[in-house]
Structure 1
Amino acid sequence: MMATGHQVVGITFGVGALTLIPQLNPYSSEPLSAVFFLGFVLFGSLLPDIDMPNSRLGHKFWRGLLTLFILTFLIYLFAPRYLDLYREELKVFLMLLLPILFMIRGHRKMTHSLLFVGMLVGYSLFIEKWLNVPWFYLSGLIIGVISHLSADYVTKKGIPLIYPFSKKHKRFFITFKTGSVIEKAVVYSLVLWNVWYINLIF
């Protein structure tokens, strides 16, 4: 599915989660919290395509990572004492980054598997404790990723659900081609559904 379609599906999942998951209900009544939650959902809905350098999120990720490495190298050359000040933070950052770089080895592989979702849950638990980010928002990120995998699951290419144990792509029994008229019709229908549903509940 295309990036815009993934975002629409993500919003659908996010709004559904806010209204149907009891643990999230207390936050859904706070407009600002709900907006931040949906922001995390939107980010998560694009996250699995980070393995594509030309995707909407992948392009920014690789450009940002390259910029970060250049800045770190320049600091190492001209102001190495600053690296010593943040040595522990850099260790944690690298510890978090290396597994992500290992996972990004071709489109619709690790980042489109159930293992990726499991690892993301583990990362989220760590971030919750280390940075004190509320689980409510991190759950939005996970819901966004699940929405992405669900959307790609109904495309003709499918996704490798149990990668790396099996590279075979699984798909729903009803599928459509990415970028097709059917996909656009589904996306427009979801936009209308979201508008109607949000008006109904709020």
Structure 2
Amino acid sequence: MNGKTHFMGGLAACAAVETVTDGVDLSPLFYMGGMIGAFIPDICHVHSTIGRKLPIVSRIVSFLVGHRTFTHSLLFVGLVYGIMNVLLPDAYNLQMGLLAGICSHILLDMATVRGVKLFFPFPLRVRLPLFIRTGGKLEGFVRIGITIWLAIWAYQYIGEWM
């Protein structure tokens, strides 16, 4: 998936978490974390949105682990969670937002032809039964679908809030 789709996916993941948790102590920082987290797994790809912003880090990670391996795995999610608990122990909203964004990124990339190495370091690639080509027309429809769902969710959420 491309950066725009991941961005919308990060927002949608945060909206889904807020719906499930009934908005328990969530703040705008939660959504900011989700938007940032949606880009983090692609640090392993030098031409990605985050890879272009942090080219040296991206080249190192890409060289060490390749694309859609470690940074697209459950091991990575657990490692990020552990690091955030040490570095940001009191930033619950940011932690949960980042994790929601990272998980949405991985799930969206599981819907692509190549899939991801979800159980890294094991070589098994995981993809969803229905998958699309990154950057293709179907990805645009996926992004539009996510955007429509978010608009409906926001309308309902704001309606309850007022």
Tell me if both proteins adopt one fold, taking TM over 0.5 as the criterion.
yes
Partner of 1:21: 21
Change (3 A) 1:20 1:46: same
Q: Which one has the largest radius of gyration? A: 1
Partner of 1:190: 146
CA distance in 2, matches of 1:101, 1:172: 25
Indicate the SS of the match to 2:128: coil
Contact 1:115 1:162 in 2 (8 A): yes
Q: Alpha-carbon deviation of 1:136?
A: 1.8
CA distance in 2, matches of 1:173, 1:121: 28
TM-score by length of 1: 0.72
Q: Alpha-carbon deviation of 1:169?
A: 1.1
Partner of 1:138: 95
What is the 5 A alignment of 1:5-154?
5-22=5-22, 25-28=23-26, 33=27, 35-62=28-55, 101=61, 105-129=65-89, 132=90, 134-154=91-111
Contact 1:161 1:170 in 2 (8 A): yes
Q: Alpha-carbon deviation of 1:168?
A: 2.3
Contact 2:43 2:61 in 1 (8 A): no
More helix by share: 1
CA distance in 2, matches of 1:102, 1:158: 17
Q: Alpha-carbon deviation of 1:19?
A: 2.1
Q: Which runs of 4+ in 1 moved over 2 A?
A: 100-105
Gaps of 5+ in 2: none
CA distance in 2, matches of 1:177, 1:101: 24
CA distance in 1, matches of 2:54, 2:86: 21
CA distance in 1, matches of 2:99, 2:87: 13
Deviations 1:142-201 (Å, cap 9, x if unpaired)?
11000000000111110001111x222111111111111111111111111101110111
Percent of aligned pairs with the same amino acid: 27
Contact 2:44 2:61 in 1 (8 A): no
Contact 1:51 1:58 in 2 (8 A): yes
Indicate the SS of the match to 2:94: helix
- Whichever residue aligns with residue 136 of structure 1, its letter is N
Q: CA RMSD in A?
A: 1.9
Indicate the SS of the match to 1:26: coil
Q: Alpha-carbon deviation of 1:26?
A: 3.4
CA distance in 1, matches of 2:20, 2:139: 26
Q: Alpha-carbon deviation of 1:7?
A: 0.8
CA distance in 1, matches of 2:111, 2:85: 29
Gaps of 5+ in 1: 66-99
Q: Alpha-carbon deviation of 1:62?
A: 2.7
